[in-house]
Chain A
Amino acid sequence: MARQAQKKDVVIIGLGWTGSILGIELAKEGLEILALERGPDRKTVPDFRYPDVADELKYGVRNGFMQRPRDSTVTVRRNLSETALPYRVLGSFLPGNGVGGAGVHWNGQTWRPQAVEYRLRSYVEERFGAGIIPEGMLLQDWGVTAEELEPYLTRFEYVLGISGKAGNLNGQIIEGGNPFEPSRSKEFPLPPLPDTYDSVLFAEVAKSMGYHPFPRPSANASAAYVNEYGMQLGPCNYCGFCERFGCLNYSKASPQTCVLDALKRKPNFEYRVNAEVLRIEKAGDGKTATGITYFDADAGEEIFQPADLVILCAYSLHNVHLLLLSEIGTPYDPATGTGVVGRSYAYQMTGGTSLFFKDKVFNPFVGTGSGGVTIDDFSISQIDFAKEGFIGGSYITAGHTGGRPIQQLSLPPGTPAWGRAWKEAAGTWYGHAMSIGAHGSNMAYRDTCLDLDPTYRDRHGRPLMRMTFDWKPNDIRMTQFMKAKIEPIAKALKPDVMSSSYKTDSSHYDVRPYQTTHNVGGAIMGIDPKSSVVNRYLQSWDLHNLFVMGASAFPQNTQYNPTGAVGGLAYWAVEAIRKDYLPNPRPLL
């Protein structure tokens, strides 16, 4: 039997980006809050301090800050008839673990979706007709619009001190910014980061070809900054140990640098680490949650923590897993297409071209997680889906993040994998390569989904979550289109050698190489409980005192990195909780 703890007003599951935001905003209301984090505590000092954190083997290769599959993982199959096998060793995606979550070791590219992405089904139907939607694709609107979310996206970007340049300020197109972005109400809080050589080359050639290069919106501070919580950032030093690492310089926006010290000062906020939530408990009438049960690893016991309000902030995959384990909502059944929890899992379609120059020196170790240059000329709003034969789009971008030799050494095609020729190629080409990448949307399909695995269990004896996912022809056509746009840009830069890597018709999902930690869907938002798990305020349709944050809410993936929208949605939801829900707890829709 679980020991019962004293009741709290709010319990927050997971203390990463969304948990920190919900924590500080609800703490302002004077509520008694407990955040439970399954992993260890993490602070800039001692955990990210120089020089120990500049350790590629420990953090880059052995994933020292990430989730250990031994403690938590999923099983993966590519289609409904394959037997799913455990994701035993981290590869394709790297969920966070410990205070700060993946917000510790992200790159920091902080984007807003395009206006059409929030209402993608409506847009496709209005503009091209429902007939272009391929069989099996589950296209859905978010239930919230770009205009509604704008103030909350701005708020998130101001909390993080994002460096960038507006391209559409209150409807006015600004030279040097992204002309295809939805209108924003304010300029970015900080000016763009200075461009490294590869970004300069890309920007010049893109401009000469009539495209519209602009700086990547970056959570690596370009100057000193203080946010609304009094948290301070110092300018980024281009350390080259950004993604996969904690920032040694108080420059990368993270829960640690932007929220947590302010939050920890609130007397009504408490957090516990090594405290993994096992399930959300339901009241007898099935209309509310009574609290959660967690495993206190230090005490070695299960504890029931009663609470009036439960906020699920465990990262998209773990959010869905906890909903399934707690039997909240109807699980999705791909055979019949009924049910909602686990429906519409999607990922991110990426590809790229590497360019090698004998006579150019890039010093790639001079890098930031998110500085660089992008064009959005082939973004989702700029493509004629009917003509091109796919639904989706990508941004095209350059800007190196580091020159770490184990993982970031790029060698020309045809170089042997070992032997003298490999060694000499490493000496010849290190520092002489740059790349141009496409980062694109990925639609959800009837058979891309999440459920409980019938065979494999975690250390608590609970079923692992099973992921069913593969690349689909629509999205492969999209990335092939991007290849055809990128290669001429690359050729115009006249590299000595170049090589492309994009998904093709014969590509299948491969869990081994890192792709992105942009796992979305499974607990999607919407306006109809029959096709969504949470409403437009991220409130569970089933238990009205349960709110689910994170990219699990995305009905399909946007073409951008998710966290800008995840943060915006968190501020949007917490405002609805504070202003509408707390005074009168009930289903908001």
Chain B
Amino acid sequence: MSLSPSALTRRSLLKTTAIGLVMGVSLPVPLFARSAEPPPLADYKPEYFTAQEWAFVMAATARLIPSDGTGPGALETRVPVFIDRQLAGAYGIAADWYMEGPFDPAANPQLGFQSPLTPAEIYRQGIALFDGWCRQALGSPFAALAPVRQDQALKLLEKNALAAGKPPAGATPAEAGPLVPPELRDFFTLLLANTKEGYFADPKYGGNHAMQAWVYIGFPGARASYAEWATRQNVRYPLGPVSISGERA
């Protein structure tokens, strides 16, 4: 990676302040009644991921919601922490899902999720497969690739079009013989969905750090009380978000 996560975190804090000013909220000192700042992302000890998996998730989410341009990215909002905690919990083990066989993971996708693997297992096997492919086809693990190469690789993963070796010139991804087995075909879909969840969910789940994603788009979070605003037409709601634990921004 070109930037260390702690550098990104520092940069994002500056940016949050700038956004606060743009939105008309005076934020010389952050308003949030927040408990102590969590440890920098680089020092976070994953509950579920191995070190190699963590490096992948950090790098991949940083491409899915990058830090450049307007608005916070996945790293400043600590999306990887969210994903790690989700996979370590009930979601990771598919606690609510029907997971009895027989399984037909290659079924028509419109029939829904049919993999025998839990989300945590899909990440584990999916990362190993994808990182292996990156090494073999692009020369390094995903996390060590340049951002442009990372985006190209993710686009192939998104289409489940990773092929063993280099695709022959002119071949469509499908003809090239997909490397992703059907039970892992939802890997990218889950990774992207979980990344956006971590960006926008309440901070209590570890992502959307300091409600930056809510501040950025203008969602007031858990305020949940707007009766007098129902009939105000075309006027921007003035207050920043609150979180379930009582943070304010």
Contact = CB atoms under 8 A, between A and B. Distances in A.
B217 A430 contact: yes
B44 interface: no
A83 B217 CA distance: 44
Interface in A373-424: 403-406, 409, 417-420, 422-424
B98 A69 contact: yes
A69 B151 CA distance: 35
Interface of B: 63-66, 68-71, 73, 91, 95-100, 102, 104, 107, 109-114, 151, 154, 158, 192, 195-197, 200-202, 205, 213-214, 216-227, 229-237, 242, 244, 246
A235 interface: yes
Contacts of A200: 233
A56 B71 contact: no
A194 B113 contact: no
9 contacts: A51-B244, A54-B224, A70-B96, A88-B99, A361-B235, A366-B230, A417-B192, A424-B69, A426-B71
A584 to B, nearest CB: 45
Interface in A79-125: 83, 85-89, 91
Given A423-B66, A510-B110, 12 more contacts: A77-B111, A85-B112, A195-B231, A238-B225, A363-B232, A363-B235, A366-B230, A418-B65, A418-B154, A420-B69, A424-B70, A431-B218
Interface string A211-245: 00000000000000000000000011111110000
B232 to A, nearest CB: 8
A138 interface: no
B181 to A, nearest CB: 18
Contacts of A576: none
A87 B70 CA distance: 39
B202 A57 contact: yes
Given A89-B97, A238-B227, A512 B200 contact: no
Interface residues of A, number: 68
Contacts of B63: 418-419
Contacts of B231: 194-196
Interface of A is mostly: loop
Contacts of A404: 219
Given A89-B113, A420-B69, A508-B110, A405 B64 contact: no
B237 A363 contact: yes
B180 to A, nearest CB: 18
A208 interface: no
A197 B114 contact: no
B224 A512 contact: no
A241 B97 CA distance: 24
B237 A512 contact: no
B112 A197 contact: no
A360 interface: yes
Nearest to A64: B96
Nearest to B231: A194
A69 B237 CA distance: 39
Contact of A197 (B197, B222, B233): B233
B241 to A, nearest CB: 10
Residue of A56, A63, A195, A455 with most partner-chain B CB within 10 A: A56
A195 B217 CA distance: 23
Contacts of A426: 71, 216-217
A69 B229 contact: no
A50 interface: yes
Contact of A423 (B73, B102, B205): B73
A237 B229 CA distance: 9
B202 A423 contact: no
Given A61-B197, A424-B70, A511-B111, A83 B234 contact: no
Contacts of A193: 230
Contact of B96 (A52, A69, A361): A69
A491 interface: no
A512 B112 contact: yes
Interface string A47-75: 00011101111000111000011100100
B218 to A, nearest CB: 6
Nearest to A421: B69
Contact of B202 (A55, A77, A236): A55
Contacts of B64: 418-419
| Top 10 A-B residue pairs of the complex, sorted by shortest distance between their CB atoms | A430-B217, A54-B222, A239-B224, A69-B98, A57-B201, A405-B200, A510-B110, A366-B226, A68-B96, A418-B64
Contact of B222 (A51, A62, A63): A51
Given A62-B91, A83-B104, A430-B218, A366 B237 contact: yes
A502 to B, nearest CB: 17
A87 B112 contact: yes
Contacts of A57: 197, 201-202, 205
B107 A405 contact: no
B236 A361 contact: yes
Contacts of A197: 232-234
A195 B221 CA distance: 22
Contacts of B217: 405, 409, 426-427, 430-431
Given A366-B230, A417-B192, A86 B244 contact: no
A85 B111 contact: yes
B213 A405 contact: yes
Contacts of B102: 455
Interface in A25-59: 50-52, 54-57
A87 B65 contact: no
Contacts of B65: 418-419, 422-423
B99 A70 contact: yes
A7 interface: no
B110 A423 contact: no
